[in-house]
Amino acid sequence: MKRAPAFGLSWYSLTILALLSFFSCIKEAEPVTEPVLFTGFLANIKKDHPRLLLLDSRIDELKQLRKSDALLDQYVSACLSRANSYLTRPMLERVLIGPRLLSVSRELLIRSYCLSFAYRFTGDRKYFDAALNNLKAVCAFSDWNPSHFLDVAEMLHGVAIGYDWLYADLSKADREILREAMKKHGLNEFQKRGGEWWNKAENNWNQVCNGGLIVGALALAETDPIYAEELVPKAISNLAVALKNYAPDGLWYEGPAYWSYATEYLSYGMAALESALGSMQGLDQYPGLRETGLVPMVCASPNYSFLNFADAGENSRSDASPAFMFLAKTYHNANISNYYHEIIKARNLLPHPLGVVWYQAPSSSAAPRKLDQFFRGKVEAVIFRSAWNDPKALWLGIKGGINGSEHSHLDLGNFELEAGGVRWAKDLGSDDYNLPGYWTMGVNGQRWTYYRLNSFSHNVPLLGNQNQYPLAKAQFSEVELNTSTPFAILDLTEAYRDFASKSTRKVSLINQRSAFLIEDEFVLTKNTEVAWGMMTANSIEVQKGGKAILRNSTITTRTLEAEVVSPQSAEFSVESATQKSPEKLNTGHSRLMIRLPNQTGNVKVIVKLTPKG
């Protein structure tokens, strides 16, 4: 009898296949490691991902809240739309501008936030894929440009957010790629440079570098705890050096524009500590931080243009920094979050994903806003206004402080004035950071040869046709605000020490808050020229009898009338603000001037500025 054909496998073959499959599984399995035992500083760390800024529980809250909060729904939709815009953009390349990779780092950072947020909120894989491709592109760079360490800090921050927020769906291989790049290009570079100046700087480099370090180190705490154990406590200690400059009233001495940069990174670091470790490790208790969220609001004019001191860009305006929402949430201040909503609506800005993460709904119970405000600190400022929530209101800001700080100009006593929606007296802002000697400060520093940075472009007195003393300090000696005739007196004696034994500038809001009076007084120690100047982008018509009329080319119904009150014989003149390349040209700007030659003894210059229309 013939045996039927055998189509099955023999017991021997089956045994071999089973063994091969078994050994294959052993080869592909991830190695079993002992769980990390967190102690000391990391004892309370959230052991799983995500642990940075946006936890899964908050995603659930936002999804639920979105159903009943139309404004939050609008913000979420805007963030998703923003993420969609990044889906088809070319991958980032390691291209420096001057000595900086910073523009690439910042682009990676916003892409990482928007795309990772969109994926976590929607679960749509297209956002995950785009985020991962962007992250892997920068991880393949030869380095993150450690010679300009802001670039490293921002890039590390961006990759850490992507790693943490996408962690659950990253493959083992992709986790390794991101993790190794964060260590090689980021955290190891921090270890090498623990003694460099920026670690304990007083300026924005401190918050940016140490804030980025905190985010990066905490992201890898379970696989590489040595970074968090060693570097995060150092970063917290380093931050104390910069945080003292928010005291006592919250003004950041590098100006309102740099406030956003410095305070955003501080917010990232503080929020990462809170979400990962359960507390901000005391950083939230530093004097001035409770108030600092209000500073950009007060220092912004009725049309949201800043009191533009330090190296702010020309025509800088208030932005919708997510730091507003973080500070409003942390310090339970509805005025701060209300301002965030106001600025987004007024300027038609796009919210940052963290503005959603830290979202606080508009409130009708916020404390009333004061018309006038005095900020003390390393740099001082006084702000006057005739009203809130009126785009035509009068507004003036004047600054004191020090000439010798980072990003400072020789501009003690500089004022900017807005009324009727027009900036009548302005600060030109920064010049090109790559100009030779731009950062060479101090007495005879090359920085002071550049027009936009020296006294000749600012709305300050000029004695002997010279710059202010580069190391001068100026404090307000008397301030009376929120009265019918508020005023502030600034002691400028150090600024003009080579020409006068006493110098002051007094600014008053007069005539039922409808005009400003600028009063400068000097006790001269030598025969010298005294000059008064004001920068403007408006046309100037000089009239006999010490008068001038400024007109805006766009809002033609509005004018500013300038009048010399003292000395009565003085006349206005107009001088050019035009400069030559490589400096910025200042096209369309001019100077309203008073020049008083051969002055001696006590000299007083008083100018009245009255908006019309």
Distance CA 48, CA 471 (A): 51
279 and 393 share a domain? no
What pLDDT is stored for residue 25 in this prediction? 43
Per DSSP, the three-state class of 566 is strand
Total domains in the fold of the chain: 2
What pLDDT is stored for residue 34 in this prediction? 54
What DSSP designation does 278 have? S
Final residue before a domain boundary, out of 296, 323, 357: 357
State pLDDT tens for residues 217-227: 999 999 999 99
Distance CA 499, CA 488 (A): 23
Distance CA 360, CA 378 (A): 31
81 and 53 share a domain? yes
Confidence label for 257 from pLDDT (cuts 50, 70 and 90): confident
336 and 377 share a domain? no
| Nearest to 276, CA basis, from 62, 43, 120, 111 | 43
Confidence label for 446 from pLDDT (cuts 50, 70 and 90): very high
On whether residue 602 sits in a domain, the answer given is yes
Sorted by sequence, the CB contacts under 8 Å of residue 314 that are 6+ apart come out as 308, 428, 429, 430, 584
Angle at the Cα of 413 (from 514 to 419), degrees rounded to 5? 25
On whether residue 18 sits in a domain, the answer given is no
347 and 400 share a domain? no
Distance CA 400, CA 457 (A): 16
On whether residue 5 sits in a domain, the answer given is no
On whether residue 362 sits in a domain, the answer given is no
What pLDDT is stored for residue 29 in this prediction? 40
Confidence label for 35 from pLDDT (cuts 50, 70 and 90): low
CATH number where 247 lies: 1.50.10.100
Confidence label for 40 from pLDDT (cuts 50, 70 and 90): confident
Answer whether residue 10 shows pLDDT above 90.
Answer: no
Answer whether residue 503 shows pLDDT above 50.
Answer: yes
Answer whether residue 457 shows pLDDT above 60.
Answer: yes
Q: Domain containing 381: what range?
A: 373-612
202 and 75 share a domain? yes
401 and 283 share a domain? no
On whether residue 367 sits in a domain, the answer given is no
Residue-wise burial string across 486-520, b where 16 or more C-beta atoms lie within 10 A, e elsewhere:
bbbbbbbbbbbbebbeebbbbbbbeeebebbbbbb
414 and 491 share a domain? yes
Region 518-542 average pLDDT: 98
Region 487-492 average pLDDT: 98
C-alpha dist (Å) from residue 156 to 119, 216, 448, 491: 20, 6, 35, 44
341 and 423 share a domain? no
208 and 300 share a domain? yes
What pLDDT is stored for residue 195 in this prediction? 86
State pLDDT tens for residues 359-392: 999 999 999 999 999 999 999 999 999 999 999 9
Confidence label for 336 from pLDDT (cuts 50, 70 and 90): very high
538 and 580 share a domain? yes
State pLDDT tens for residues 462-482: 999 999 999 999 999 999 999
HSE, CB side, 13 Å, CA atoms: give it for residue 34: 3
Region 564-581 average pLDDT: 97
Distance CA 140, CA 94 (A): 9
335 and 391 share a domain? no
Sorted by sequence, the CB contacts under 8 Å of residue 245 that are 6+ apart come out as 202, 252, 253, 288, 377, 378
State pLDDT tens for residues 309-334: 999 889 999 999 999 999 999 999 99
On whether residue 31 sits in a domain, the answer given is no
Sheet strands (E) in 386-465: 395-399, 401-402, 415-419, 422-425, 461-463
Region 205-220 average pLDDT: 97
406 and 350 share a domain? no
What pLDDT is stored for residue 36 in this prediction? 64
| Ramachandran quadrant class, 346 (left: phi over 0; alpha: psi -120 to 50; beta: rest) | alpha
On whether residue 13 sits in a domain, the answer given is no
Distance CA 399, CA 476 (A): 9
On whether residue 100 sits in a domain, the answer given is yes
| Nearest to 189, CA basis, from 162, 213, 214 | 213
| Ramachandran quadrant class, 425 (left: phi over 0; alpha: psi -120 to 50; beta: rest) | beta
Distance CA 134, CA 129 (A): 9
Answer whether residue 23 shows pLDDT above 80.
Answer: no
Confidence label for 37 from pLDDT (cuts 50, 70 and 90): low
CATH number where 534 lies: 2.70.98.70
Final residue before a domain boundary, out of 302, 323, 357: 357
Answer whether residue 26 shows pLDDT above 80.
Answer: no
